[in-house]
Each structure stands twice: as structure tokens, then as C-alpha cells.
Amino acid sequence: MAGRQTGRHRRPPEEQATYREVFAVGEFRALWTAQALSFVGDQLAQVALAVLVYDHTKSALLTALVYALTYIPPIVGGPVLSGLADLFPRRTVMVVCDVVRAGLVALMALVAMPVWALSVLVFATVLLGTPFSAARAAVLPDVLEGDRYVAGSAIANVTHQVTQVLGFLVGGAVVAIVGTYETLALDALTFGASAVILIGGLRRRPAPRRRERESLGLLQGTRDGVRLVFGDPVLRSLVLFAWLCTFYVIPEGLAVPYAATFGGGAVTAGLLLAAMPAGMVAGSLLFSRFVRPANRLHLMGWMSMLACLPLVGAGAHPPLGWVVGLWALSGVGGAYQLAANTAFVAAVPASGRGQAFGLAQSGILAGQGVGILVGGAAAQVLGPETVVALAGVLGLSAAAMLTLGWNQVRGGVIAGTRAEPVVVATGGDEFAGRAS
């Protein structure tokens, strides 16, 4: 059982945390292990579902439709369901979501069903990931304080990117060896294992809001979340930085046709898909370990521009090796999300953390889905190289404008990071001074 934190924990924010310190926290180990299991299972299941649908229908359109269902549910229900992470104990929200998802995926693995029924179960499974992710994001600052939170976020980000790289490179081979239904069964087991780990390793904290005094209307909570985030200039700037990924995610959706311009197939496409996550891994490690906390906020705007600028080079039609390098460099720039995420946590009241994170996450997924869809349609006319270059230009312009606005409000945020944070762990809430 994770040890209970007591008393007050003080850490000068300029002192950088090490990964060893982060992994020494038992509750973080539980969160990280559950996350890693889910990521691995989801990567394998994504490949298995695509193979399963295509084998049954021989339709690329239906296969793409099922894949698109991994984006649509959080867009539709994310801002609403994420409020559950503020109305109920966050550990309970995560465990219930894991148990229900394990049952749904197990049903897909055990029962042969038509595509429409499979699509309904996929939709429901992905939809439940929204309150889970919101609860996990909201509880992490209660587990890690100060720069430990930044290091923990970096570890989570690296874990996600590494599992993506491995999934792209070996997922197809695993499905071919094990089988599609067996792979889905493994995904169900990862959800079940995640629930067990969270019960044993994460201590129960009370719900941040008192339901008898708060309206249980989740739509009202959604409106409150929108007002909270967009009514504050700091939160508004930070969430727009997060949504900037709309532009630099477009190459991911064009990897296959881009690979075809070099005469390559699945291997070349996998190499391109792996480039950006690999760059993100390197950038996250460097940014969290070698840049001081306050300096991260200074560099955030420049890093966001770096995430988009290399994509402009696609317009020169460089050889494959250069394209891989440019996409990896874009991934390095994407590490600015660590600074944006940390500042966002510091600025959001603990009682509204789940709703705010859910809104941010839903916007990210909506931007990714729309960006990939628009990019794919444009590539039919202009070609993938031109579309990637245009995405870089538009993203760079948006990043520059966001940076100009951020420079006007970041002073208060930086001043807040220099103040000594205090975390009172007994109540389950975090207070580090709200930037405004």
C-alpha cells in the first residue's frame, strides 16, 4: 500500500527533481505502472481492431471509420464526463472506468460481432478514457509537488511516446503472432491489472467538491469549466498552447502517402511515424532535466515555434533521411507542452482541476482529429509534402502570435514559481498560489 503523505512538504521551486526522487514516491509508481500497462494494451488493440475490421469487411473506409472512433468520443463527451473527476473521489473514478473498459474489451475479444456493434463498444471504451484521464491528471499534483510534478509529467510523456514508437514498430508483428482476438484479450487484462494496481497503490482521497452543495448537472459543470479556463488570460494562453498540436500532428495522418512519395510502404511509414515521438522523448528528457523551472516558461514560446518550423522544410522536397530528421526535430520542440502543463496545474483551483484538464484534453483531441481530416483532404489535391509544409507555416504563425500574448502575462506566472510552494497532503488538495 502506498505510504500516506503527512504534514507540509516544502521544496524550493528552483531545485530540480530527479527521476529517482519521483519513482521513490509509491503512489506515483502505482499511477505510472497502471498508465504503462494501459498504453501498451491500447497500442496493440488499435492495431488488432484495424486488422479485425479490414479482415471482416475488406473496406478501407470502414477500417478508417473505426480508427476515427478513437478521436470522436472525447470530443463529444469529454468536456461533460471529465467533470466526474471533480464530483467523485478520483481514485474511484479511475478504478470504475478501468473495470468497465476491461469488460467491454473482453466482450469484443470473446464474441464475434458485426462492425456496427464493434463500433459501439469501441466508442464506449474510448469515451470512458476521458474521465479516467481527467482524474489521473487531477490527482497527479496531489501525489507530486513542486518540480517533482514536472519530472513526473516528463516520465509520463516519455512513457506514452515510447509505447507509441514500439507500437508502430512491433504492433503488427505481435498481432500477427498472437492473433487479433487474443490481442484484444490482452488489452482487457491490462485494464483489469491497472484497476488492481490503483486500488493497492493509490490512497483514497475525498471528492474535491461536496455534491450536496454542488449541482450534479454535468452540462453546468462544462459551462463552469469553459468560464474558468477562458476567463483567465493565463489559463487561456496555456490551453491555446496545448491546442497548437493541431498543426504539428498533421504529418502523422499523412505518413502513409508521404512514404509513398519515396516509393516506400509500411516500413517507411512506420519510420516516419516513429520520428516525431522519438524526438518528443529526447526533448522531454532534455527539457525536464537540464532547463531550470522558471527558464522553461521563458523558452515555452520558442519551443512551440520549433515544433512547427521544421515542417516548413517539407516544401523543399528533401530526401527521406532529412524528412525523418525534420520530424524528429519537430518532436523535440513539442516538449514545450511540459512547461504549459505545469503552469496550467499551478493556475487551476484544485476543485476544478478535472473539468479544466478534461476541456484541454478534448480540445487537443478535437484539434488532432480535425487537423488530420483536413490535412488528408488537402493532400488529395496538393500532395502530402505541400500540406505538411503549409501546416508548418500556419502552426508557426499561430505559435508566434501565442508567444507574443504569453510574453505579456508570463511575468506573474514566473513570479509564482519563485514563491515556495506548500502542499498540505492531508486534505488531498494542492495550493501553490494561483497565477492570474
pLDDT block averages, 10 residues each, the chain of length 436: 37 60 88 84 73 69 61 66 75 91 91 83 82 82 79 77 69 74 87 92 75 46 66 82 89 80 74 83 80 79 93 91 93 86 74 69 76 80 90 94 84 50 31 27
Contact (CB, 8 A) for 417 and 297: yes
Contact (CB, 8 A) for 92 and 231: no
Among residues 182, 148, 168, the alpha carbon closest in space to that of 32 is found at 148
How far is the C-alpha of 422 from the C-alpha of 9, rounded, in Å?
6
H-helix segments, 144-292:
147-178, 180-201, 218-230, 233-243, 245-248, 250-253, 255-260, 266-290
Query: Does residue 144 sit in helix, strand or coil?
Result: coil
Among residues 332, 300, 289, 336, the alpha carbon closest in space to that of 410 is found at 300
Superfamily for the 221-421 domain: MFS general substrate transporter like domains (1.20.1250.20)
Contact (CB, 8 A) for 137 and 357: yes
Please compute Rg for the chain using Cα positions: 21
Q: Which fold has domain 17-209?
A: Growth Hormone; Chain: A; (1.20.1250)
The pLDDT value recorded for residue 350 is 64
The pLDDT value recorded for residue 424 is 28
The answer to whether the predicted template modeling score (pTM) of the entire model surpasses 0.75 is: no
Are the folds of 17-209 and 221-421 the same? yes
Report domain extents, the chain.
17-209, 221-421
The pLDDT value recorded for residue 68 is 61
The pLDDT value recorded for residue 318 is 92
The pLDDT value recorded for residue 368 is 78
Degrees to nearest 5, angle at CA 240 with 289 and 336: 15
Query: Does residue 306 sit in helix, strand or coil?
Result: helix
